[in-house]
Each structure stands twice: as structure tokens, then as C-alpha cells.
Amino acid sequence: MNGIIVATSCGIRDEDFCQEFYKIVSKDELANKKILYITTAVDGEDPNDDRSWMDHEFATMLELGFSQENIAEYKIGDAINVLDFDIIYMMGGNSFYLMDMIRKYHFDEEIRKFLAAGKIYIGSSAGSQVLGTSVKVSADENRIGMTDFTALGLIDGLIIPHANRKEEFIREWREKTDETIIELFDGGGIIYK
């Protein structure tokens, strides 16, 4: 992998983490980057659920330095050349649904091609969780009846977003598995180069 992965729980918000991110790409440079904003995971959630968090996270992207006119919303399955973009921003939502759509449309190949070209992938919640070894640790409802929980394996471990709100859940998983558990806290994240 020549590219950079930024795994977050709900976007890049924490000031210290913002500064770490700006070491990769400055705020001035960000305004000129073309962003592929993938919102597929949201389609797997209950349509009656509150989605105001999406507006908040989009506003956070703009505050970070993304230029709205350079953000193209995308749904996995639509025709696109990912290499036309500088950054993939994989939004949160239902991790099972997102992983299923990635498999169904072989989008894992697109992500790998994108990273091999030295580009930046930013994952938020489900968009980060699919990068690990498995989505079995998702707290989402398994609406699609997934039985193969294998994820992309780009990060070695089980990724749990919103860890600051899931202490008991994480404790239970630590008792169930010997795999590495990677906790992502809201506002921050981990950068993999």
C-alpha cells in the first residue's frame, strides 16, 4: 500500500488530530483536492433513523478545508474512475450493508487500486470498520443476514468506531477474541502510512 489511510470514528474533528492530518495534506492543498464522497453505508440504515449526524459530519469536512465544489457524492455500483479523485471519503452507516456492497461490486479492487496510486482514503465509522479484518464487531443491525464477516484486511485488527460510547461492548469483545481490537474515539482517529 503506497497510499494513506485515515481511520476515524466520525470524521476529523479533534484539533490535535486535525494537525496530524495537515502534516499529510495542508489545509490550503485540501481546497484543491477532488473528493469522492461515498455515502453508500447510510442506505443500509433504517430510513426512519435520525440522520442529522450526516449534515454535521459534512460541515466538519468543509471546516477541515474540503471545498464543496470539489466533493462528488457517490454510491457504490455506479460507474466511476476512482483515480480521477485525490481522496476517498467513505461515510458511516451500516457496516454490514457497506461490506456487502463493496463485495457485490468488487469495490475492494477499486480501493486497493486507489491506495496503490498513493492516494488518501478517509474512513468514518463504517467506512473505517470495513478496513479491518472483520465487521463482526459491528454494533449495527445485520439487516442483510450477513454470515461471512470478512472485511478488507487493509488494517490488521477489528476496528470499533465510537469506542468512547461502547465500553461494555468492547469489554465483551475482548473476552470473546484474541484478535487485536482497534478503538476509534469520536473526533480523532489513526493515520496509517
Map out the domains of the chain with their CATH numbers: 4-192 (3.40.50.880)
Confidence tier at 51 by pLDDT (50, 70, 90): confident
Confidence tier at 191 by pLDDT (50, 70, 90): very high
pTM value is: 0.97
The grid coordinates of residue 25 equal: 495534506
The grid coordinates of residue 99 equal: 461490506
> Which tens digit of pLDDT belongs to each residue from 12-38?
999 999 999 999 999 999 999 999 999
Q: For residue 120, what is the DSSP state?
A: E
Q: Is 132 in contact with 157 (CB distance < 8 Å)?
A: yes
Which strands form 71-74's sheet, in the order they lie side by side?
71-74, 35-38, 87-90, 120-124, 4-8, 189-192
Four-point Cα dihedral 93, 99, 102, 103, nearest 10: -160
> Which tens digit of pLDDT belongs to each residue from 58-102?
999 999 999 999 999 999 999 999 999 999 999 999 999 999 999
> How do strand 158-160 and strand 87-90 relate by DSSP bridges?
unpaired
> Which tens digit of pLDDT belongs to each residue from 143-168?
999 999 999 999 999 999 999 999 99
Which residue, among 174, 161, 179, 173, has the nearest Cα to 7 in the 3D structure? 161
Q: How far apart are CA 74 and CA 82, in angstroms?
A: 10
